[in-house]
Amino acid sequence: MANLKEIRNRISSVSSTMQITSAMKMVSAAKLKKAQDAITAMRPYADKLTELLQNLSASLEGDSGSVYADNRMIKKVLIVSITSNRGLCGAFNTNILKQSVNLAENVHAGKEVDFIAVGKKANDFLGKRFKVIANHSGVYDDLTFDNVADIAESLMLLFTNGAYDRIEIVYNKFKNAATQIVMTEQFLPIVPLEVEGNVSADYTFEPSKVEIIEQLIPKSLKTQLYKGIRDSFASEHGARMTAMHKATDNATEMRDQLKLKYNKARQASITNEILEIVGGAEALNN
């Protein structure tokens, strides 16, 4: 049985860890509220923009020849892998990295696959196995639409100039604090918009439909990427809060077990000392 000093040191160590994980949980909970409000607020806008683009595209009857809808033979693929800059958030980053590797080695096997990392974890891991052409980890320092729009514009340029034939984004979609869903979305070329039934929306166009769509598509792509990063940002704090909650519970349980072990060891030590005193007294009497 470990001596009392060892057990006391372990209790102290576990208690310190428990305080740290508890503090991290509270910090993540506070950040999660703000991040959750942000993604919840922008979803109606993103959905309405998609709906508007869908109605307009359906009414064109194939007359739109957008450069962003060019379905070429896929030879080069670019994957935008969105992770966090820090760890201690459970399987949040691992799930994204697994899906990114699966896309590169299985789904797009035989094609040239490069990566863009949004987050240090993606850059550090993928950079050892694949070609990472850009790292945008700093976007989390000031997560605004304008900063993400710059990244989206660079992706659109890479597609239109023929550097890549397909661009996909991989991120965690925020569902709730305990659940994140790994999403793989085709960014470019734009996915053909399917509408069930007739388009009943009645619009007055100024200028033409085609010109409006050509302006809406880049904005929609920027919004899609911004939404993905915002989803990932909220998911990160939810995953970290959940992970730190579990870590705190585990540390509490371990501390309680160590205290029980310490009390048993202390009781055994006191019993041994009493037995030694009684034995010594009997030896003197004899």
Question: Tens digit of pLDDT for each residue in 113-168?
Answer: 999 999 999 999 999 999 999 999 999 999 999 999 999 999 999 999 999 999 99
Q: Is the dihedral of CA 237, 243, 249, 254 positive or negative?
A: negative
* Average pLDDT over the chain, rounded to an integer: 87
Q: For the residues 186-199, what does the mean pLDDT come to?
A: 68
Q: What domains sit in the chain, N to C, each tagged with a CATH number? A: 4-22+243-277 (1.10.287.80), 25-239 (3.40.1380.10)
Q: How many CB atoms lie within 10 A of CB 112?
A: 14
pTM of the model: 0.83
Which pLDDT tens digit goes with each residue over 213-258? 778 888 989 999 999 999 999 999 999 999 999 999 999 999 999 9
Which pLDDT tens digit goes with each residue over 62-91? 544 578 878 889 999 999 999 999 989 989
